Amino acid sequence: MKTRKFCATVLIITLSLVLTGMPVCADNPKEIKIGAIYPMTGGAAQAGWDSRQAIEVALEIINTTKHKDLGIPLADTEGLPNFGGAKISVVFADHQGKPDIGMGEADRLISQEKVAVLTGCFHSNVTLTASQVAERKQIPFYNFESSSPRLHQRGFKWFFRSTPHDETFSAAIFGFLKYLKEKHGAKVQTVAILHEDTLYGKDSGTIENDLAIKAGYKVLAVIPYRRAATSLTAEVQRLKALNPDVLLPTCYAADAILLAKNMKDLDFNPPIVVAQGTGQIDPSFVETLGASMVEGISSRNAIGPDLMESIPKLKKANALFRERTKAAGKERDFSGPSVRCFQGMMALAEALSRAKSLSPEDIRKAIQETDLKTDQLVVPWRGIKFAPDGQNMFGDAVCVQWQGGKMVTVWPEQFATQKAIYPIPKWADRK
Amino acid sequence: MYTAEILAQTLASGLLMGCIYALIAVGLCMIWGLMEIVNFAHGDMMMHSMFMAFWLWSLFGIDPLIAMPLIMVILFVTGVLVYFIIIKRVLKAPMLAQILSTFGLGIFLRYLAQFLWTPDSRMVQEPWLDGRIDIAGVFIGVPQLAASGVAIIAFILLYFFVNRTELGGALLAVSEDREAASLMGINSDKMFALGWGIGAACLGVSGAMMANFYPITPEVGLLFGLIAYVAVALGGFGSIVGAFVGGVTIGLVEALSGVLVAPAFKYVFVFGVYLAVVFIRPQGLWGRY
């Protein structure tokens, strides 16, 4: 009995010595794993698919020298130049649009897949829960496209976000309204806010309400609705009865389509509609409804598709994205979220290259020290540089408008490719 | 703020939506009334009939209105097949097994659609039934009106079929007492299959009509399915009239509470009415049990 106990003790001591003595990771790994949690199934699965393609385009640029001519950091080297040419690989996980699943996947990616950085999750409410796991486990969470302001206001140490958020975006909406008022003589006195009722919509509604009051407009109503509603007729009727000068909707794709249909059915004609992105700028919005139904609807956007012609780097990156999506089954242009996703992935890789280590703290420090200038980016931002709260301080937004089935940039004036339409044609006057 | 015009519009919208809920609920009710199995794949089967209408329109240019009889037949056959392949095997199994089998079928159908056709939302553009009628400031969508009309016709036909024909009588007999009906020479197997066929065919009709005006995604059946369960429970399990009244009630409650109270609360009222009915009359308004 004694011998057995002795043997067991020796075994335990030896094992623990061997295991703790082993290096946690090699100094020059061949591969850095990143975990990406996106909605691959469920209502927003298209966005998840787009994000995946955008990330894979970025990986091809980072890991190979095929696209040297792009002229952005990491395009002309194989792998990460400062990190012994290490390549980046991404493990994708599906959260189905559900915060609890996002949390579980974050946990699994960190503890089982041993990823160095987490990214995702498109939906703000899923990013919220998944990044809590990363914070607890002290692994950087680098968000590319979620726009709820609450995300960077939690005092987290391990959370970073390269995209501008809804406060920046909403400021663009009100900048556009001011411009319409001053340059087009538009009547902008009353606004109505309609938003879907998850984190993204609620935060957007709150900020829009604050900004509208600050700008001296009268807010007639703030109406939340259930994203998976069977109909929005009640909401639209209420809006119609209020008769606002401006409608500010915040929707995801399927409900944005339903809203437009119901507005037509009930002959609701607000002269100005400026959306908080996502639904109204999703390619399926015009594909499903057709050009006439969407005419004149505006939205804030990270970028206008016409800018993809006027910014050469973006044009090249978009061509790569089209190539990849075509090979994957459905050719698409960059959308607002997917271009931000691509840009975020490139910036994250640049930070990883500087980190020169797999230690979470080194990576966190390298991300915090990111300082990219406009000419190193494909999007028209002033740069990427993180405030202490992890938010990129130099992201910008534009306002786009549907004109003749095309999404054109109408604000700010220095980027505008077309003059804004005011007012939106009434339903009765359209074909 | 609430003029007579707005109220009239609200009632009209509520009625139109209610008729569509009713048609979906009637199919569910058939299956329940006959064999006391809740078909949790109901909404997803409707989603597939909407996709069928979309693809017939998109690939062959067949308007959903023309495609409707065809989709109805396909769904009828699907319903019969579902009965023989899945339901028949769990008829004598515990209730949980029955629930899980239809639930599993629903999930299978939803993700099949997502796999085959991606999660994009789609829509039939410029169908024959398009536009709207303006009656003194009350706007009524033509496709919605047609769908409601079809729902009412389908309901009347179904009602007469069940209550006035020999075959319908046989269906009722089987639902009353399976064994006694068998002794009278009624093949209960065939009747069950017929019930599933008719239940699914109702979805073929509602799916094709809805394809005229509703965006189609793999997720579209979820809430419609849920509302159909509530309509059936409200009207009384097994009662076709009850399911119809239940559907229309839900449509009206949804529209009225949405406009008069606040849109955010419209489902609170819908499910609140349901709870009230269940408390006061657990068997539902027209329920037999």
More confident residue, B173 or A38: A38
* Predicted pLDDT at B177: 84
**Average pLDDT of span A370-395:** 92
pTM of the full structure: 0.73
**Which of left, alpha, beta for A329 (phi over 0: left; psi -120 to 50: alpha)?**
left
Peptide bond into A412 cis (omega under 30): yes
Q: What is the pLDDT of residues A10-69, one digit of tens each?
A: 555 545 544 443 434 445 678 999 999 999 988 788 899 999 999 999 999 999 999 988
Instruction: Determine contact: B6 vs chain A, CB below 8 A.
Output: yes
* Boundaries of every domain in chain A: 31-164+310-385, 167-301+398-429
> Which has the higher per-residue pLDDT, B119 or A75?
A75
Task: Please give the pLDDT value at position A5.
Answer: 62
Q: Which of B120, B133, B213, B268 to mutate to test the interface with A (most CBs of A within 10 A)?
A: B120
Locus of tokens 């001591």? A13
Phi, psi dihedrals of residue A92, rounded to the nearest 5°: -95, 145
Which among A3, A57, A50, A13 is positioned nearest to A283, based on CA atoms? Answer: A50
Nearest to A265 among B139, B219, B227 (CB): B139
CATH topology agreement for domains A31-164+310-385 and A167-301+398-429: yes
Distance CA B237, CA B241 (A): 10
B225, pLDDT greater than 60:
yes
Instruction: Inspect the interface and report whether the beta carbons of A253 and B125 lie closer than 8 Å.
Output: no
Q: φ and ψ at A46, to 5 degrees?
A: -65, -40
- For A349: left if phi > 0, alpha if psi spans -120 to 50, otherwise beta; the answer is alpha
Indicate the CATH number of B4-280 among 1.20.120, 1.10.260, 3.40.50, 1.10.3470: 1.10.3470
Residues A226-254: what's their mean pLDDT? Answer: 90
**At A381, which amino acid appears?**
W
Q: CB A238 to CB B227 under 8 A? A: no
What does pLDDT average to over chain A? 89
Q: Do A230 and B10 touch (CB under 8 A)?
A: no
For residue B1, name the pLDDT band (cuts at 50, 70, 90): low
Residues of chain B positioned with their CB less than 8 A from the CB of A287? 120
Do B2 and A241 lie within an 8 Å CB cutoff? Answer: yes
Please identify which residue in the block is written with the tokens 């299978």.
Answer: B108
Residue B13 near chain A (CB below 8 Å): yes
Which chain A residues are within 8 Å of B139, Cβ to Cβ?
265-267
Residue A75 has pLDDT above 70, yes or no: yes
State residue A18's pLDDT score: 46
Which chain B residue has its CA at the smallest distance from A48's CA?
B119
CB contact under 8 A, B119 and A46: yes
Mean pLDDT (whole number) for A231-241: 90
The one-character DSSP state at A380 is S
Chosen for mutation from A51, A197, A198, A233 (greatest number of chain B CBs closer than 10 Å) is A233
A31-164+310-385 CATH, one of 3.40.50.2300, 3.40.50.720, 2.102.10.10, 1.10.238.10: 3.40.50.2300
Measured CA to CA in angstroms, residue B186 lies from B166, B179, B196 at distances of 11, 9, 17
| B22 close contact with A: CB closer than 8 A | no
Is A258 near chain B, with CB under 8 Å? yes
Size of interface A-B (CB pairs under 8 A): 109
CB distance B255–A234 less than 8 Å? yes
A285 to chain B, minimum CA–CA distance in Å?
A: 8
* DSSP category for residue B133: E
Asked if the Cβ–Cβ distance from B222 to A228 is below 8 Å, we say yes
Whether A68 contacts B244, CB under 8 Å: no
Q: CA quadruple B217, B223, B226, B232: dihedral positive or negative? A: negative
* Contacts with A239 from chain B: Cβ below 8 Å: none
> 3-class DSSP state for residue A232?
coil
- In B, which residues are within 8 Å of A221 by CB distance? none
**CB within 8 Å: A234 and B13:** yes
Mean pLDDT calculated for residue range A65-79: 90
Which of A228, A242, A288 comes nearest B121 by C-beta? A288
What's the pLDDT at A58?
96
Distance CA A117, CA A71 (A): 25
ipTM, 2 dp = 0.75
CB-neighbour burial class of residue B207 (10 A; exposed 0-12, middle 13-18, buried 19+): buried
pLDDT for residue A126 is more than 70: yes
Residues of B in contact with A235 (CB under 8 A): 258, 263
Separation of alpha carbons B207 and B54, rounded Å: 10
A132-186 pLDDT, tens digit per residue, is 999 999 999 999 999 888 999 999 999 999 999 988 888 899 999 999 999 999 9
CATH number belonging to domain A167-301+398-429:
3.40.50.2300
pLDDT at B289: 56
**What pLDDT score was predicted for residue A13?**
52
Between A3-12, A41-50, A79-88, the lowest mean confidence (pLDDT) is in A3-12
Chain A residues with beta carbon closer than 8 angstroms to that of B134? 267
The arithmetic mean of pLDDT across residues A265-269, rounded, is 91
pLDDT in tens, B42-80: 999 999 999 999 999 999 999 999 999 999 999 999 999
Average confidence (pLDDT) over A264-286: 91
Question: What are the structural domain ranges in chain B?
Answer: 4-280
pLDDT value of residue A32: 94
**Does A49 sit within 8 Å of B6, measured CB to CB?**
no
Cross-chain CB nearest to A238 (options B214, B223, B263): B263
Kindly tell me the burial class for residue A26, based on how many C-beta atoms sit within 10 Å of its own C-beta (0-12, 13-18, 19 or more): exposed
Residue B130 vs residue A67, higher pLDDT:
A67
Question: pLDDT by residue (tens digit) across A337-367?
Answer: 899 999 999 999 999 999 989 999 999 999 9
Using the Cβ of B63 and the Cβ atoms of chain A, whether some distance falls under 8 Å is answered with: no
Q: At residue A93, what is the residue type?
A: A
pLDDT exceeds cutoff 80 at A71? yes
